[in-house]
Amino acid sequence: MYDLGQFRKDLQQFDIQLTQQQENQFIRYFELLTEWNEVMNLTAITDFDDVLKKHFVDSLSLVRAWPQIRERSAAVIDIGTGAGFPGVPLKIAFPQIRLTLLDSLQKRIRFLNELSTELGLQDVELIHGRAEDYAAPSKKREQYDLCVSRAVANLSTLSELCLPYVKEGGYFISYKSEKIAEEAKAAEHAIFLLGGKIEGQKEFILPDSDIYRNLFMIQKVRSTPKRFPRKAGAPAKDPLK
Ligand code: SAM
């Protein structure tokens, strides 16, 4: 049997109380993640308590920066979602959101497809492709209230990949695991060019741990100029300055 005591305690600190069904979904997520991880590279973290803390609690820490997710049926996109972080834990805890998960690796999308079916998740769209290629006006440009991304790229690159997806007035929130004063400074002009405005950052330690977390918040204040994002590969190879 799985012991969810610490998980429940951690989530209390975020004012999140899960139903039995949601707890079962998280357990099943853990099982599928570790099963599929035997045959494809999804995560280096496989211990039950570690997955709960470093993947699930960490993903849900978003409520510290964007509490609106509790009430709104917001349109949310997770860029470079990998095995579903942070998007899938957010969808389990806040089932009313409309979620898009995007990743350039086909095998990860296959896993997410199976996961969504097994967990019975509704209103989840999976996109296999590069972030640079789906931000066209005929695709997903400026359609989201919130774009999230964890462990994908530096802030300048990430802003070019993510801000085009966000509606004016919406937010891009980047999960960072260290202090990013220099990285933020280097990305300032890029964020401006892309129509964003740095709103601030929420820094904290994950509950009952020594894991530092920084949620860096950018508001979209103007439409992103058509020339962004540049062609696939350019944002990472030659970050905007
Ligand atoms: N967000 C997940 C997490 O925190 O566990 C996965 C992080 S993993 C280190 C980075 C992911 O970003 C990979 O799955 C990779 O395929 C994806 N990725 C990197 N660049 C991308 C791009 N330009 N467009 C779409 N996905 C991208």
Q: H/E element holding 108?
A: helix 106-119
Ligand 1 centroid – CA 20 distance (Å): 31
Mean pLDDT of 122-138: 96
Quote the CA–CA distance of 171 and 198 in Å, as a whole number. 10
Ligand 1 centroid – CA 81 distance (Å): 6
pLDDT at 209 over 90: yes
CA distances from 147 to 44, 99, 141, 154, 231 (A): 24, 10, 12, 15, 20
Quote the CA–CA distance of 100 and 46 in Å, as a whole number. 25
Confirm or deny that 131 is annotated as ligand binding: yes
| Ligand 1 and 196: CB distance under 6 A | no
pLDDT digits (tens, 9 = 90+) for 15-71: 999 999 999 999 999 999 999 999 999 999 999 999 999 999 999 999 999 999 998
Confidence of residue 122 (pLDDT cuts 50, 70, 90): very high
Confidence of residue 190 (pLDDT cuts 50, 70, 90): very high
Q: Give the tokens for residue 119.
A: 């967990």
Confidence of residue 72 (pLDDT cuts 50, 70, 90): confident
Place of tokens 């300032």: 188
pLDDT at 1 over 90: no
| Ligand 1 and 135: CB distance under 6 A | no
Burial-class residue 186 by CB neighbours within 10 Å (0-12, 13-18, 19+): middle
pLDDT digits (tens, 9 = 90+) for 82-111: 999 999 999 999 999 999 999 999 999 999
Q: How confident is the model at residue 96, as a pLDDT?
A: 97
Q: Which residues on adjacent β-strands are paired with residue 218?
A: 172, 198
| Ligand 1 and 4: CB distance under 6 A | no
Ligand 1 centroid – CA 199 distance (Å): 24
Ligand 1 centroid – CA 142 distance (Å): 20
Confirm or deny that 216 is annotated as ligand binding: no
Q: Which residues on adjacent β-strands are paired with residue 147?
A: 77, 172
Average pLDDT, the chain: 97
Residue pair 6/69 in contact (Cβ under 8 Å)? The answer is no
| Ligand 1 and 220: CB distance under 6 A | no
Place of tokens 């994908």: 152
Q: How confident is the model at residue 179, as a pLDDT?
A: 87
Q: Give the tokens for residue 41.
A: 């590279």
Sign of the Cα pseudo-torsion (99, 128, 183, 209, in order)? positive
